[in-house]
């Protein structure tokens, strides 16, 4: 997901505004409102009715709610809006496809709930023979604007340059669906995306006829529930609720339901991203 580098203005405003959050605001009577993107199956996406959110994050929130004073509910938000929405009290937390990174930990605390990596999505049959980063020399790839996956493209391009090979061209898009479409049309050799989403698309898109995944998994880092730093009580309640689902088995049951148990965490850690 997106790095704070492309959200400098919003994050700078958020950093300045963190002091405006007053302790205990998110603990008032009523649900914990979680902002989230809504287009990343099987983690979180709309069902066929276009209204009902479903997926790993939604089911996990429901399991955690059984261990909280009030339930977690979701408010759809575009990714760049998540930090400003927390600052303006429109949402209490961000429970979404947000990597826990050292840079983001300067703004919020994370309750880490999943280990997420990057895989390369290619056209069915892998016609451009993508096998790893080094196989991308002279090819065109796609990424989401501001995503951590852009660093992988830079690594690949640097390797190609060091070995006298043609550069890697990176087409960046605001929406993951647009970046993935470039693979489908053959405009790019691969899309760099989040592992469980790439595996899901390879398995399900047009009955599994559109995509494959290629190469090893890269950049395994935690996904975390982002909590304002002046909300330590809420953070600790969420951590304890997540740990309770791990202990009672409901956490792993949710992950197995969607076939993503490979990303399971062993315990509910806080701010583990800066330690990886």
Alpha-carbon span 222 to 230, nearest angstrom: 22
Instruction: Say whether both 229 and 108 belong to one domain.
Output: yes
**In which domain, by residue range, is 151 found?**
117-219
Instruction: Say whether both 178 and 236 belong to one domain.
Output: no
Token pair, residue 147, equals: 């995503």
Instruction: Say whether both 271 and 193 belong to one domain.
Output: no
Instruction: Say whether both 111 and 196 belong to one domain.
Output: no
Residues forming beta bridges with residue 40, ordered by sequence position: 44
At a CB cut-off of 8 Å and minimum separation 6, what does 157 contact? 167, 168, 170
CB of 93 closer than 8 Å to CB of 251? no
Instruction: Say whether both 82 and 181 belong to one domain.
Output: no
Tokens 């006829």 sit on residue: 209
In this structure, what CATH number is given to the domain that contains residue 170?
Answer: 3.40.190.10
Tokens 């429901």 sit on residue: 62
Q: How many domains does the chain have?
A: 2
Each of the 276 residues of the chain gets a pLDDT tens digit; together they read 444 444 444 444 443 344 333 334 444 568 999 999 898 899 999 999 999 999 999 999 999 999 999 999 999 998 888 999 999 999 999 999 898 989 899 999 999 999 989 999 999 999 999 999 999 999 999 998 878 899 999 999 999 999 999 999 999 998 888 999 999 999 999 999 989 889 999 999 999 999 999 999 998 889 999 999 999 999 999 999 999 999 999 999 999 999 899 899 999 999 998 776
Instruction: Say whether both 37 and 69 belong to one domain.
Output: yes
Instruction: Say whether both 194 and 249 belong to one domain.
Output: no
Instruction: Say whether both 207 and 228 belong to one domain.
Output: no
Nearest to 66 by CA among 226, 255, 243: 243
């Amino acid at each position: 997901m997106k790095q704070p580098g492309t959200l400098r203005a919003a994050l700078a405003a958020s950093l300045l505004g963190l002091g405006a959050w007053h302790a205990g605001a998110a603990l008032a009577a009523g649900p914990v409102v979680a902002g989230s993107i809504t287009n990343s199956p099987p983690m979180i996406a709309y069902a066929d009715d276009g209204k009902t959110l479903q997926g790993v994050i939604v089911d996990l929130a429901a399991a955690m709610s059984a261990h909280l004073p009030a339930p977690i509910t979701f408010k759809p938000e575009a990714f760049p809006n998540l930090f400003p929405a927390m600052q303006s009290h429109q949402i209490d937390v961000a429970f979404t496809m947000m990597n826990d990174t050292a840079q983001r930990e300067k703004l919020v605390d994370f309750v880490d709930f999943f280990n997420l990596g990057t895989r390369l999505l290619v056209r069915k049959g892998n016609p451009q023979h993508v096998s790893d980063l080094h196989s991308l020399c002279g090819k065109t790839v796609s990424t989401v604007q501001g995503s951590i996956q852009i660093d992988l493209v830079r690594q690949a391009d640097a390797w190609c340059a060091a070995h006298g090979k043609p550069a890697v061209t990176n087409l960046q898009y605001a929406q993951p669906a647009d970046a993935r479409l470039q693979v489908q049309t053959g405009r790019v050799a691969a899309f760099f995306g989040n592992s469980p989403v790439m595996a899901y698309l390879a398995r399900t898109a047009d009955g599994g006829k559109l995509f494959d995944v290629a190469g090893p998994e890269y950049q395994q880092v935690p996904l975390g529930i982002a909590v304002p730093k002046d909300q330590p009580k809420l953070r600790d309640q969420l951590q304890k609720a997540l740990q309770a689902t791990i202990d009672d088995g409901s956490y792993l049951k949710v992950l197995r339901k969607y076939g993503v148990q490979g990303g399971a965490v062993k315990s509910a850690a806080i701010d583990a991203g800066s330690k990886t």
